[in-house]
Structure 1
Amino acid sequence: MILADLMKALGQFSDPRFRRVLWLGLALSAGLLVAIYFGLVGLVGLFAPETVTLPLIGEVAWIDDALGWGSLLLMLGLSVVLMLPVASLMSSFFLEEVAAAVEARHYPSLPSARSIPLADQVRDALSFLAVLVLINVAAFAASLAFPPAAPFLFYGVNGWLLGREYFQVAAMRREGREGARRLRKRHPLRIWGAGCLMAVPLTVPVVNLLVPVVGAATFTHFYHRLAGGRRVTRGR
């Protein structure tokens, strides 16, 4: 089960190699999240007045207030949405090193996996990011039309997107692009369910910073379990 794969991933925190990638992933995810947040604040500031007069409160210099201590709470709240693109970008760039650490500990008899060229990683990450944004915009519009469906749309849509992306990247190292796609199409519901499990912690501030690395480790185990005895590994 995917929960067993998740527990294996969490159990590797004692591995120095895994912790190094985890801390690097945390730092980069947090940095990217902060950069996106302040970019949005600056963009809104270009079109909003510097001060706003509120009833019973008076004049408020909103941009300065937004960048004060209250900004931290706002950023934590927005991280529920902003961590989706961050997680999608980080998954492609960290999976190679995370998967290598997982396989060295849990699958030591396997031969070396093929490396995914950096250009392919960048292309795949950007194309997936575009799809993620477009589909989430459509899901958000649908949730405005029928608000009770909003949480189901969020977890269902992003579970499908994250499961597809994480599994594809994890399987590509040993199956190639087409082999990974064929394997993914044989297990769509299981991959969707695993993606939904990854989408849940994305809605928990601070915890969601762990998702890119822990998710990559979880889906490495998940891939090996689905591939089973039919793995064919091509050398580098």
Structure 2
Amino acid sequence: MILTDFVRALAQMVDPRFRRVLWLGIGLSAGLLVALYAGLLALVGAFAPEHVTLPLIGEVAWIDDALGWGSLVLMLGLSVILMLPVASMMSGFFLEEVADAVEAKHYPGLPPARAIPIADQVRDTFAFLAVLVLVNIAAFAASLAFPPAAPFLFYGVNGWLLGREYFQVAAMRREGRAGARVMRKRHPLRIWGAGCLMALPLTVPVVNLLVPVLGAATFTHLYHRLARRRAATR
């Protein structure tokens, strides 16, 4: 059933609202990384000496050029590492739009979902980004100590993080924060399994940028499936 949710989300990627959120996330992320690089270049220009005099060598005038090229290589390397979490953060501000698009197509007739306050969206998005980075650093350190466990740690940890975040986004619109937490605790294995499915594309460059949109859509389907099952048992 989780695969069905994922396939339905993938089939809707042509939806203009999906594409809008995707390009907003990527565009804002790229803009932020460019701004960070511009700031790094400004620091290099402010503090790097134009030339230095070395014993036995004399005056060296290319130090600032070397630092400038070095900063470019550093930023390119960091962009590979940072692009996904930054894109996730930027897309996080628009994931409600993805959930709205899913519900409009697949669950017509529902009453309007409650709007999540902007302050809550900002807080939750930055909190998710911080946890995502910190937990992955810890998992990376653990994988260095025991390399055979690296893939299991990566997919297991990111599956838990992505499942927790995207289910919260999907459920909170209909259940509120407390209700979403109750549902998440009631179905931990299903949510973790769906999160692991979302973690699989993380290792594929470019494709991994689709994860925030696909995750929001897949977990919207998952939430409604669990909510209908709950209603049927009452």
Q: TM-score range by the shorter chain?
A: 0.7 to 0.9
Contact kept? 1:88, 1:128, Cα under 8 Å: no
Alignment of 1:151-190 (within 5 A): 151-190=151-190
Question: SS at 1:112's partner residue?
Answer: coil
Alignment of 1:1-236 (within 5 A): 1-32=1-32, 38=37, 61=66, 63-64=68-69, 67=72, 74=77, 79=80, 81-230=81-230
- Separation in 2, partners of 1:97, 1:111: 15
Gaps of at least 5 residues in structure 1 are 51-58, 232-236
Higher RCO (CA-CA < 8 Å; seq separation 6+)? 1
Q: Given the two structures, how large is their TM-score scaled by the length of structure 1?
A: 0.78
Pick closer, same or farther for the CA change 1:44–1:214 going to 2, 3 Å. Answer: farther
1:49 CA displacement: 11
Aligned to 2:53: none
1:64 CA displacement: 1.2
Q: Given the two structures, how large is their TM-score scaled by the length of structure 2?
A: 0.78
Percent identity reads: 74
Per mean C-alpha deviation after superposition, the further-off stretch among 182-191 and 218-227 is 218-227
1:226 CA displacement: 1.7
Q: What one-letter code is carried by the residue in structure 2 that aligns with 1:179?
A: G
- Separation in 1, partners of 2:154, 2:43: 25
Q: What one-letter code is carried by the residue in structure 1 that aligns with 2:72?
A: L
1:30 CA displacement: 4.0
Structure 1: 4+ residue segments shifted above 6 A:
39-50
1:65 CA displacement: 5.8
Per mean C-alpha deviation after superposition, the further-off stretch among 15-24 and 186-195 is 15-24
- Separation in 2, partners of 1:203, 1:172: 29
What RMSD in Å do the two structures reach over aligned CA positions?
A: 3.2
- Separation in 2, partners of 1:224, 1:85: 27
1:34 CA displacement: 5.5
- Separation in 2, partners of 1:209, 1:49: 39
1:91 CA displacement: 4.8
